Amino acid sequence: MQYFTDTDMGLDLRLVNLSVESAFADHGRGLVQMPPKVYITLPEGDFRTMPAYLPSLSIAGVKIVNVHPNNPRQGLPTVMALTIILDLATGQPVAIINATRLTDMRTGAAGAVAAKHLSAKKEIVLGVIGTGRQAEAQVAAISRELKIREIRVWGRNPLHVRKFADRFMEYPCMPVSEEKACDCDVLVTTTPSTTPIIRSEWIREGTHINAIGADAPGKEELDPALLRRAQVFVDDPAQAIHSGEINVPISHGHYRADEIAGTLGEVVIGKKRRSGPEAITIFDSTGLAIQDLAIAKIAMQHGRKIELPFP
């Protein structure tokens, strides 16, 4: 068995985007095995288990990932992850992968795939709500699919906003208010908010939104009224209803599951699409285990490895 370290080093983001896009296509065609992720609640956070089998890549495994919002106070990432890959013929573990950075990258790739297929424009003003690792991952991945003319970023901490702007000095990157950040072509929301922070009236027609932050029950970033104005595409219906952006509005009766426009996989294979250039589209991202397998396949070809005896 091999343990892979530094698995994010040298990975081509365009290749990661393409691999994740292919996994979504398989999902849209019903060619994967992937039950909804399982949540275990802990005193200061939670952890999730995410198993899947992706036949097109001949890979199966499970990721264990935590979310602990107070970790940065201790110098630890909010999200850390470990992926275990199994031999298809025997079930023997063949690899353990440090998937902490890979989780950021595969989520960024999902946002890039959504923006590629759902943005009304190929040259965009990008609005970013939040300044953490996932905000950076979204910008980096989207830049491989669309031409970014300008970034408008909002965050609670001015120091973090300034550091974010320094990270993307190749673009005009302006710190703005939440409302001004929403005056854009593609909006990315990446906060852990449990109350809506994006008002419906701030979003103009034709905007595409990657709703990334809501990934557990009780979280929501968008005004429920905005969902009713938009075409909402989810990564996986069961997960989105349980823990995505639509979970709170559905539980409160402000949105219905039958109003979901489709899945991102269906968009990728051309089965579903935005209704027109003036439509508001939303990608509700919860994170799929097949994304983890897709990026694990690439990482195992590039990451540094250590041999571990097993069994």
Residues marked active site are found at 63
At 308, list the tokens: 């571990």
In the chain, the N- to C-terminal Cα span, in Å, equals 9
Q: How many CB atoms lie within 10 A of CB 149?
A: 13
Classify the C-alpha dihedral 222-122-268-88 as positive or negative: negative
Q: What's the DSSP call for residue 147?
A: E
Q: What's the DSSP call for residue 222?
A: B
* Run of H or E including 167: helix 158-167
Q: Under a CB-based contact definition with an 8 Å cutoff, are residues 198 and 178 in contact?
A: yes
Residue 115, classed as helix, strand or coil, is helix
Identity at 296, one-letter amino acid code: A
How far, in Å, CA of 66 to CA of 242, rounded?
17
